[in-house]
Chains A and B, each alone.
Chain A
Amino acid sequence: MDFLRPDTLAEALAHKAERPDAVPIAGGTDVMVELNFDHRRPAALLDLTRIAELRTWDEDDGAVRIGAAVPYTRIIEELGGRLPGLAMASRTVGSPQIRNRGTVGGNLGAASPAGDTHPVLLAAGATVEAASTRGTRLIPATDFYLGVKRHALEPDELITAVHVPVTHAPQQFSKVGTRNAMVIAVCSFAVALHPAQSRVGAAVGSAAPTPRRASAAEEFLSAELTSTNQWESPKPLLDSVKRRFGDLVAEAASPIDDVRGSAAYRKHALSVLARRTLGWAWQDYSGKVA
């Protein structure tokens, strides 16, 4: 095995072009587990932690560009005001030790259906920045997840950043687990209000082969709120509306039965999470508009 230690992004991309089989490692919270348990023996590790520009974030044109190696702890501490949903999901990742190392870039690279940040990235309308020696491209989160632990990167590409729109509108994230800390989601859900576009974003995690948007639920609620003029003058949401939203979210999922929960439980839990998080987000929005 080789250990590649680039100091610059250009060097890292040159390595990846030459060695597409090199496994990128930043926080190591997924990669090292696979190595420790002998589940993986990559030909090379490509350490991204020495590359300064991957450890920075900046705000430009209404979005925050978060370098792929920025750990969750910094997202929670530094970006909670601009990216409430992402900060909320980051707070639920592992333990302090894990949040000190783990990154959104790594969450994306692992592309686990249970990754905590995925539903938020989908609901918020994030874009993944991928780079190679051939250039840089932006992949909408919606197009990024292709299957269980499969994503849209080419073998010579590295995730360099994720772009998340800044918002002052409410966002919520909630997950079901067997305890409060250190738990992989049985299922998770994110909702994001986009009042400027009279639109709602909603996505489920750990309830299908990939994280996925609940498009029918998004369309139903967006149409409902727009036709009743509630973006301008919000009223308490009708139970029937919250219930229908929850049902449509559950319908968007295609979960499996596994050790963490049954498919039926996951669908039921998602409908409850959707109703509750929407209730919290809408109450927050009503307070802000009033």
Chain B
Amino acid sequence: MRVNVTVNGEQRQADDVWEGESLLYLLRERLGLPGSKNACEQGECGSCTVYLDSVPVCACLVAAGQAQDREVRTVEGLVQGDRLDPVQEAFVDAGAVQCGFCTPGLVVAAHDLLDRVPKPSDPEIREALAGNLCRCTGYEKILDAVRLAASRKEAGA
């Protein structure tokens, strides 16, 4: 089947999409957007988190056909021109990146949290990131990155 979807503000089209295919496969393998990572394919790890109509979802659990006529924003789409999003910048500056595999999903989840809750408490950060697994960092640097992004956003606002 053919799927038409707006991805990072651009109208995209994919042909010969298998009906049981996930949005994640569509993004990575058909549209050439490898930012969202493919790890567990069961919604446990959060590394494929993208916005679907402004709501963070696991792209592996959305059928590609369900994205027809909808808007997807991936980690690639958070960049404004050649400037990283403040959340992406904070992850770099706080050293919240090790192997980097979980980073895109965490960045999207943290981005959504700070959109909804500009000054999150630690429990709020932990809850918001509860669906994103990281196997290298121990999460402390990731929590630091979210706190840093929040404080910079506040200072900039």
A residues apposed to B, CB below 8 Å:
1-3, 5, 25, 27-29, 31-33, 35-37, 41, 44-45, 47, 49, 73, 94-98, 100-101, 180-182
Contacts of A2 in B (CB 8 A): 19
- CB of B13, distance to nearest CB on chain A (Å): 16
Query: Known: A32-B22, A36-B60. Contact between A97 and B42, CB under 8 A?
Result: no
Contacts of B22 in A (CB 8 A): 32, 35-36
- CB of A141, distance to nearest CB on chain B (Å): 26
B residues apposed to A, CB below 8 Å:
1, 18-20, 22, 41-44, 46, 49, 55-58, 60-63, 65-66, 68, 109, 112, 127-128, 130-132
Given contacts A49-B66, A96-B128, A98-B61, 13 further A-B contacts (CB under 8 A): A27-B61, A28-B66, A31-B63, A32-B61, A32-B62, A33-B42, A33-B43, A35-B22, A45-B63, A47-B63, A94-B131, A95-B46, A100-B57
Which residue of chain B has its CB nearest to the CB of A47?
B66
- CB of A46, distance to nearest CB on chain B (Å): 11
- Tell me, in angstroms, the Cα distance from A94 to B56 when the chains sit together: 14
Contacts of A29 in B (CB 8 A): 43, 58, 61
- Tell me, in angstroms, the Cα distance from A5 to B4 when the chains sit together: 14
- Tell me, in angstroms, the Cα distance from A3 to B65 when the chains sit together: 7
Across the interface, do A98 and B58 meet the contact criterion of CB distance under 8 Å? yes
Q: Write 30 A-B pairs (CB below 8 A) sorted by A numbering.
A: A1-B18, A1-B20, A3-B1, A25-B63, A27-B61, A28-B61, A28-B63, A32-B63, A33-B42, A35-B20, A35-B22, A35-B63, A36-B60, A37-B41, A45-B19, A47-B65, A73-B55, A95-B130, A95-B131, A95-B132, A96-B56, A96-B128, A97-B43, A97-B46, A97-B56, A98-B43, A98-B131, A100-B56, A101-B62, A182-B44
Of all A-B residue pairs in the complex, the 10 with the closest CB atoms, nearest first, are A95-B131, A181-B130, A1-B19, A36-B41, A3-B19, A3-B65, A32-B61, A35-B20, A33-B42, A28-B61
Across the interface, do B41 and A33 meet the contact criterion of CB distance under 8 Å? yes
Contacts of B1 in A (CB 8 A): 3
- CB of A5, distance to nearest CB on chain B (Å): 7
Contacts of A98 in B (CB 8 A): 43, 58, 61, 131
- CB of B115, distance to nearest CB on chain A (Å): 13
Query: Known: A32-B22, A181-B131. Contact between A97 and B62, CB under 8 A?
Result: no
Which residue of chain A has its CB nearest to the CB of B132?
A95
Query: Known: A28-B62, A28-B66, A33-B43. Contact between A97 and B19, CB under 8 A?
Result: no
- CB of A26, distance to nearest CB on chain B (Å): 9
- CB of A18, distance to nearest CB on chain B (Å): 17
- CB of B137, distance to nearest CB on chain A (Å): 17
- Tell me, in angstroms, the Cα distance from A280 to B55 when the chains sit together: 34
- Tell me, in angstroms, the Cα distance from A45 to B68 when the chains sit together: 14
- Tell me, in angstroms, the Cα distance from A28 to B49 when the chains sit together: 14
Contacts of B60 in A (CB 8 A): 32, 36
Query: Known: A32-B60, A45-B65, A47-B63. Contact between A100 and B43, CB under 8 A?
Result: no
Query: Known: A32-B62, A182-B131. Contact between A101 and B19, CB under 8 A?
Result: no
- CB of A107, distance to nearest CB on chain B (Å): 14
- Tell me, in angstroms, the Cα distance from A49 to B63 when the chains sit together: 11
- CB of A182, distance to nearest CB on chain B (Å): 6
Across the interface, do B66 and A97 meet the contact criterion of CB distance under 8 Å? no
Contacts of B131 in A (CB 8 A): 94-98, 181-182
Contacts of A101 in B (CB 8 A): 57-58, 61-62
Among A36, A37, A97, the residue within 8 A (CB) of B57 is A97
- Which residue among B55, B56, B62, B130 has the maximum number of chain A CB atoms within 10 Å of its CB? B130
Contacts of A94 in B (CB 8 A): 43, 131
